[in-house]
Chains A and B, each alone.
Chain A
Amino acid sequence: MGSWEYVFLAYGIVWFALLLYFFLLKRRVRKVEVELSSLRSSGDYQKNA
Chain B
Amino acid sequence: MEKTMRKGDRGRRIIGSLALCSILLGLYFGLIAAPPDAYQGEAQRIMYLHIPSILTAYLSFFIVFIGSCLFLWKREKRDDILAYSAAEIGVLFTGLTIIEGSIWGKPTWGVWWTWDARLTLTAILFLIFVGYLMLRSLIEDESRGAVCGAVLGIIGFLDIPLIHMSVYWWRTLHQSPSILRPDKLPWENVHPSMLIALSVNFVAFILFYFYLLSLRFRLGEMREEAKALKLYGGS
Q: Please report A residues at the B interface, Cβ cutoff 8 Å.
A: 1-4, 6-7, 9-11, 13-14, 17-18, 21-22, 25-26, 28-29, 32-33, 35-36, 39-40, 43, 46-47
Contacts and interface: CB of A to CB of B under 8 A. Distances in A.
B98 to A, nearest CB: 11
Contact of B49 (A2, A10, A21, A36): A10
Given A32-B226, A40-B229, A6 B215 contact: no
A18 B31 contact: no
Contacts of A18: 92, 96, 208, 212
Interface residues of B, number: 36
B53 interface: yes
A2 B40 CA distance: 10
B212 A25 contact: yes
Contacts, number: 88
Interface of B: 27, 31, 36, 40-43, 45-46, 49, 53, 89, 92, 95-96, 99-100, 103-104, 106-107, 208, 212, 215-216, 218-219, 222-223, 225-226, 229-230, 233-235
Contacts of A2: 41-42
B97 to A, nearest CB: 9
A29 B219 contact: yes
Given A1-B42, A14-B53, A18-B92, A6 B103 contact: yes
B104 A10 contact: yes
30 contacts: A1-B36, A3-B42, A6-B103, A6-B104, A6-B106, A7-B31, A7-B43, A7-B45, A7-B46, A11-B31, A13-B99, A14-B53, A14-B96, A14-B100, A17-B95, A17-B96, A18-B92, A18-B96, A25-B215, A25-B219, A29-B218, A32-B219, A32-B223, A32-B226, A39-B226, A39-B229, A40-B229, A43-B229, A43-B233, A43-B234
- Chain B binding site: helix, strand, loop or mixed by DSSP? helix
A17 B49 contact: no
A35 B223 CA distance: 9
A26 B129 CA distance: 22
A36 B219 contact: no
A17 B100 contact: no
B226 A36 contact: yes
Contacts of B107: 3, 6
The 5 A-B pairs of least Cβ separation, nearest first, read A1-B41, A3-B43, A3-B107, A39-B229, A10-B103
Contacts of B45: 7
A9 to B, nearest CB: 6
Contacts of B106: 6
A26 B9 CA distance: 13
